[in-house]
Each structure stands twice: as structure tokens, then as C-alpha cells.
């Protein structure tokens, strides 16, 4: 069904390979979250390591509060690993979705348009149609596939579509870095496509351990829900071959939701235990 990639041992579907990579990093997120929870549950005196704010300097805040204890070093390393695994999971999700829709276009054209066309003519038509799709953005490809081959159009006002767009906005911010300048006045500007625009300061939101594992899980869920959605719209049956392109195994929904809930409960318990007299030094500056 999909294009093949040589992995060193054998040929494998490109999308299936990216799905495997994404699944691997989701499992690493889960493992890191479980290890952090176990350590924090057993050593609740490590309160400062769970009182982290996303001000862009999370690891530095951790460094400021370290006492040199080996256990604190370990949980700090696990926290940084979790952030990296979460980021990588989300990026692989976008790569997999892009690979999927590129191959799905070819699949639909072959089965819905060129199924009775001779091979030599089919190659020419497929080549030209593929070039038209190649010029589209990834988001436009998903919309166009639904328009051309679906029984209905994609609803762009759903929560799923907004989450899908946010994933690609995240991907663009990560891999298409744009220069940012700080003026003498203190204003921050960004240069994008030759246009200078001010950068709005975003409010600082709390950054917790539960957030990173949950973001990775939610990204994978968006991936699977979008693929299921386009299967439904185009009336493609999800057989064993098509099912290879989903990331989350059935038991992982329950396992990840369970660890997210445990971490959230632990963080809430720690928040309640930290009184104004017992908050670690530097905690007020982090708020």
C-alpha cells in the first residue's frame, strides 16, 4: 500500500517505520514518567524537583536547587529525559502523518481513478497528479484528500482539527527557526519572510511532569484519530494492513492515562504540603 524504505535488514513501509519510531519514544516517555513517579513517591522530601515552572529555564531552576544528593541528580536527569522524549514523540507524529497522507494519496489515486488504466499511461498520470499534491502543505493535503475522495469534507471547526494544526505549528517552530532580536527598548521582534513583526510575550504556565507524558500521548492520539477520520471519510476498510499505521496499542491508552492521573495526584498532594514556610528558596521567583 505504501512506499518502502530500506532499513538495513529489509524493506519496510516508510510510514510504518515512522510509526514504530514514534511508538518507541512514547514508550520511553511512559518509562521515564513511571520512574520519576516511583522515586518521588518514595522520597517526598524532593519537593523542589516537582515544583517546576515553564519559564524556559526548567533545568537551570533544577540546578539552582540541587543539594548534591545522588537521588536528586537522578530525578533531575529523568525529568530532562522526559522532556526530550516528549518533544521527539511529537515531532515523529508530524513526520508520520505527513508520510501517511503522501502515500495515501497515491493509494487512493491507484484504486479509485487509475484501476483500469494501462500501466504506461498510469505512470504518466500518477506522476503529474503527485506533483500537484507535492506543492501543497501537509494540512492542505489532508483537506484535499477528503474533498476529492471522501463522502464529506473535513470539519475544520472540530477540536481534533485544531489539535492537528497545533501539532504542525509546533513542528514549524521547532524545525523552521526564525531569528528573534531584542531591541534596546526591550521590545522583541521576529523576522519572518522578510517582514519584521513584534513577538507577543506569552504568560508563563505551570510545567509539570504529568504535562510532558500527557502531551506525548495526546499527540499520538491525534495521529491515530486523524488517520481513522480519513479512513472513515474515504470509506477505506481498516484491515490488518491498514491497521499498521496506528501508533497507540490498545493497552497503552489505559497505562498512560493511569500514570498521568497518578502524577497529577502526586503533584497536587505536594502543592498542598508546601506551605509558605516550607517552600524552597527561589520558589517565589519561579512563580
**What are the backbone angles phi and psi of residue 191, rounded to the nearest 5°?**
-105, 115
- pLDDT of residue 50 exceeding 80, the answer is no
Structural domain contains residue 68: yes
> Which cell numbers in the block locate residue 149?
475522495
Q: pLDDT tens digit string along 142-200?
A: 998 999 899 898 999 999 999 999 999 999 888 877 667 777 777 777 666 666 666 66
Structural domain contains residue 188: no
What is the pLDDT, as a whole number, of residue 204?
43
* Closest listed residue to residue 213, CA positions, set 152, 170, 274, 256: 256
Structural domain contains residue 178: no
Q: pLDDT tens digit string along 202-256?
A: 544 455 788 899 999 999 999 999 999 999 999 998 888 888 899 997 778 889 9
Structural domain contains residue 59: yes
Structural domain contains residue 184: no
| Interior angle at CA 286, CA 282 and CA 287, nearest 5 | 125
Count up the domains in the chain and report the number.
Answer: 1
- pLDDT of residue 201 exceeding 70, the answer is no
* Burial category of 9 from C-beta neighbours within 10 Å (exposed 0-12, middle 13-18, buried 19 and up): exposed
User: Which residue carries 537551570 as its cell?
Assistant: 60
Q: Which domain holds residue 65?
A: 4-167+203-286
DSSP, collapsed to helix, strand or coil, labels residue 63 as helix
Q: Return the higher-pLDDT residue of 94 and 263.
A: 94
- With bands split at pLDDT 50, 70 and 90, how would you rate the model's confidence at 46? low
DSSP class per residue in 65-128? H--S-HHHHHHHHHHHHHHHHHHHHHHHHHHHHHHHHHHHHHHHIIIIISTTS-HHHHHHHHHH
Give me the mean pLDDT over the 29-44 stretch: 84
What is the pLDDT, as a whole number, of residue 267?
78
Structural domain contains residue 179: no
Cα separation, 183 vs 189, in Å, equals 8
pTM of the model: 0.77
Cα separation, 286 vs 206, in Å, equals 10
Amino acid at each position: 500500500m505504501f512506499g518502502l524504505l530500506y532499513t538495513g535488514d529489509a524493506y519496510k513501509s516508510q510510514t510504518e517505520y515512522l510509526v514504530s519510531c514514534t511508538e518507541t519514544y512514547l514508550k520511553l516517555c511512559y518509562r521515564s514518567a513511571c520512574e520519576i513517579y516511583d522515586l518521588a513517591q518514595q522520597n517526598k522530601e524532593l519537593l523542589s524537583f516537582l515544583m517546576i515552572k515553564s519559564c524556559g529555564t526548567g533545568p537551570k531552576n533544577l540546578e539552582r536547587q540541587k543539594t548534591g544528593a545522588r537521588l536528586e541528580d537522578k530525578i533531575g536527569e529523568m525529568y530532562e529525559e522526559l522532556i526530550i522524549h516528549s518533544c521527539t514523540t511529537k515531532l515523529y507524529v508530524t513526520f508520520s502523518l505527513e508520510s501517511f497522507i503522501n502515500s495515501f494519496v497515491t493509494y487512493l489515486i491507484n484504486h479509485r481513478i487509475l484501476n483500469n488504466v494501462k500501466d504506461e499511461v498510469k505512470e504518466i498520470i500518477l506522476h503529474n497528479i503527485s506533483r500537484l499534491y507535492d506543492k501543497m502543505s501537509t494540512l492542505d493535503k489532508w483537506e484535499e484528500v477528503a474533498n476529492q475522495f471522501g463522502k464529506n469534507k473535513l470539519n475544520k471547526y472540530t477540536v481534533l482539527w485544531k489539535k492537528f494544526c497545533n501539532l504542525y505549528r509546533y513542528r514549524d517552530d521547532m524545525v523552521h527557526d526564525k531569528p528573534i532580536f531584542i531591541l534596546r527598548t526591550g521590545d522583541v521582534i521576529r523576522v519572518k519572510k522578510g517582514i519584521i513583526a513584534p513577538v507577543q510575550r506569552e504568560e508563563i504556565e505551570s510545567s509539570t511532569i504529568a504535562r510532558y507524558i500527557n502531551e506525548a500521548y495526546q499527540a499520538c492520539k491525534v495521529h491515530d484519530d486523524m488517520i481513522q477520520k480519513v479512513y472513515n471519510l474515504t470509506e477505506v476498510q481498516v484491515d490488518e494492513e491498514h491497521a499498521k499505521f496506528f501508533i497507540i496499542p490498545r493497552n497503552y491508552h489505559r497505562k498512560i492515562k493511569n500514570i498521568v492521573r497518578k502524577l497529577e495526584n502526586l503533584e497536587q498532594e505536594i502543592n498542598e504540603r508546601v506551605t509558605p514556610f516550607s517552600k524552597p528558596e527561589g520558589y517565589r521567583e519561579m512563580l
